Structure 1
Amino acid sequence: MVARRDGSVDVATLAADLSVSPETVRRDLRVLAALGLVRRTHGGAHPVESAGFETTLATRATRHVPQKTRIAAAAAELLGEAVTVFIDEGFTPQLIAQALPQDRRLTIVTTSLTTAAVMAERDHAQVLLLGGRVRGTTMATVDQWAKEMLAGFVIDLAYVGANGISREHGLTTPDPAVGQVKAQAVKSARRRILVGIHTKFGAVSFCRFAEVRELEAIITDTSLSATEAQRYSLLGPQVIRV
């Protein structure tokens, strides 16, 4: 599917590429949306990640990069007095790690091999990489070893990501093994901040690992409407649009 390969589709571009009418493309997108395979956007659609489909870290590093960079900077500003910090797998959490102050002594706990490599080069950072099976799609560790290591920690602040964010179903992810680790990170942390671009909102994946009310803050981009942000804030967290 073009949407999965490119991250999104534009009705006009797709119609021209396929030599069909825009209405034909819109009709097909409506069918795919009804099947839960894509989510419609103004003028196009983007793929929905499910138990059978998940984008790779390399792909995520090419999509919505300016928005993710702003989100990461805003997340780093909420560090506060935290000394022990969990950083989730994914590209946006990796950007958060890079945005954290370099003159602060921090203990970074992460499942991400790429984040661990970045932070290990810092003089003032102690890095704890959780053990377990490494997922090739995200270059992150999962399964029981990672979960058990996290269960032994009390973490000041957790930066977490999700494949889907829904008021009804909370925070979700396609892979049960990933969901277990994320759930333990939420449980082990005193503070929890969710980061995610606007396309995550309203999407529901396979495994629920947290409720919206458990979050201190949600940081996203301004393509999420102020009205929708207000609906999420009524469940408890501060919603920051950047």
Structure 2
Amino acid sequence: MKGLAAMKASARREEILKYLQAHQTGYTAELCRELDVSAMTIRRDFEVMAGQGLVTLIRGGAALNHGTSVVYSLKLRQTHLPLEKQRIAQRCADMVCEGNSVFIDCGSTAERIGEALRGKKNITVLTNSLDTAQVLSTAKGIKLIMVPGEFNEAIRGFTGLLTTDFIQRFRIDYIFLGANGIDASHGMTVPDYADAETKRVLIRQSRHVIVAADHAKLGSSYFEIVARLPEIEAIVTDSDADETIVQELRADGTEVILV
């Protein structure tokens, strides 16, 4: 791990994260030696990572956050597996036909679905994602409906009672959901209860329920159960997905599409 002093901060923090995943806790003095950087640099990295939800600051260092109720910042997730998410998004967009109504959920993969839909004509897109709404705000041929609610900074979108009440006014052809985790035992799960309730209402209002999740989400589970596998029509994921997990997901009749 030596020689990272001149590397970009993002690359250095990736190395710090790998260290924490192996040791759970990292101290500033240790990481100074490992990375050959100053204590000030390590402390600054820890502060950034704490803001992303990755670590909790402790005396002299930081401890890795983990557990079913932990959610990392969307900015961090947007940089993870970009090519895989792009392929997933394009496959989801290919399902949509002229005249369809579509709901795009919050999340880094869902935002890319919005980008992939920009070339579609005569479709209606509803979203509670601030970033997806921005992506589609100048798209020609798409009627964009921004779903209201209480802003949730972690997912950069709107959730809560106002959101669910508004959603129940519509019947939606395709919903594209983002998931923090999905496995055979628990189905689709997320860390945030308000996000989970919003997703549950969306599922009830939709004809086709599609989960868009890269392979890193498969086999994981989080605090709130959103939907069991029989409620999910299809999971679109990338071809690096673990074959055993894919077969477990398919066992209950859910289609798993590899791209």
TM-score bracket for the superposition, by shorter chain length: 0.7 to 0.9
Deviations 1:28-67 (A, max 9, x none): xxxxxxxxx9xxxxxxxx975632x211111111111111
Structure 2 partner of 1:204: 221
Is 1:118 equivalent to 2:135 in the alignment? yes
Structure 2 partner of 1:93: 110
CA–CA separation in structure 2 for the residues paired with 1:9 and 1:193: 32
Deviations 1:201-238 (A, max 9, x none): 12111111111111221111122123321221121221
More RCO (CA 8 Å, sep 6+): 1
**1:136-151 equivalent positions in 2, closer than 5 A:** 136-151=153-168
> TM-score with structure 2 length normalisation?
0.74
Q: State the structure with more CA Rg.
A: 2
Structure 2 partner of 1:50: 68
Structure 1 partner of 2:206: 189
Deviations 1:176-223 (A, max 9, x none): 110010111111100011011112112111111111111221111122
Deviations 1:152-187 (A, max 9, x none): 211000000111101111111111110010111111
Aligned match of 1:64 in 74, 78, 81?
A: 81
User: 1:12: Cα distance to partner?
Assistant: 11
CA–CA separation in structure 2 for the residues paired with 1:209 and 1:168: 12
Question: Are the structure 2 counterparts of residues 200 and 82 from structure 1 closer, same or farther at C-alpha, using a change threshold of 3 Å?
Answer: farther
Whether contact under 8 Å (1:82, 1:157) holds in the other structure is no
Aligned match of 1:167 in 184, 188, 192?
A: 184
User: 1:96: Cα distance to partner?
Assistant: 0.6
> TM-score with structure 1 length normalisation?
0.79
Is 1:152 equivalent to 2:161 in the alignment? no
CA–CA separation in structure 2 for the residues paired with 1:178 and 1:61: 18
Whether contact under 8 Å (2:187, 2:229) holds in the other structure is yes
Question: Are the structure 2 counterparts of residues 49 and 154 from structure 1 closer, same or farther at C-alpha, using a change threshold of 3 Å?
Answer: farther
Question: Are the structure 2 counterparts of residues 205 and 112 from structure 1 closer, same or farther at C-alpha, using a change threshold of 3 Å?
Answer: same
Structure 1 partner of 2:246: 229
User: 1:71: Cα distance to partner?
Assistant: 1.1
Whether contact under 8 Å (2:107, 2:155) holds in the other structure is yes
Whether contact under 8 Å (1:49, 1:55) holds in the other structure is no
CA–CA separation in structure 1 for the residues paired with 2:22 and 2:68: 25
Deviations 1:64-85 (A, max 9, x none): 1111111111111122466110
Structure 2 partner of 1:131: 148
Structure 2 partner of 1:9: 18
Question: Are the structure 2 counterparts of residues 97 and 176 from structure 1 closer, same or farther at C-alpha, using a change threshold of 3 Å?
Answer: same
Question: Are the structure 2 counterparts of residues 234 and 163 from structure 1 closer, same or farther at C-alpha, using a change threshold of 3 Å?
Answer: same
CA–CA separation in structure 2 for the residues paired with 1:66 and 1:17: 31
Whether contact under 8 Å (1:82, 1:156) holds in the other structure is no
Question: Are the structure 2 counterparts of residues 81 and 10 from structure 1 closer, same or farther at C-alpha, using a change threshold of 3 Å?
Answer: farther
CA–CA separation in structure 1 for the residues paired with 2:89 and 2:66: 23
Q: Mean Cα displacement is larger for which, 67-76 or 89-98?
A: 67-76
Structure 2 partner of 1:75: 92
Which consecutive residues of structure 1, in runs of 5 or more, have no partner in the other structure?
21-36, 38-45
Structure 1 partner of 2:234: 217
CA–CA separation in structure 1 for the residues paired with 2:65 and 2:169: 37
Which consecutive residues of structure 2, in runs of 5 or more, have no partner in the other structure?
1-12, 35-53, 55-63
% same residue: 29
Is 1:178 equivalent to 2:178 in the alignment? no
Instruction: Provide the aligned C-alpha RMSD in A.
Output: 2.9
Whether contact under 8 Å (1:49, 1:174) holds in the other structure is no
CA–CA separation in structure 1 for the residues paired with 2:218 and 2:72: 17
Give aligned pairs, total: 215
SS at match of 2:194: helix
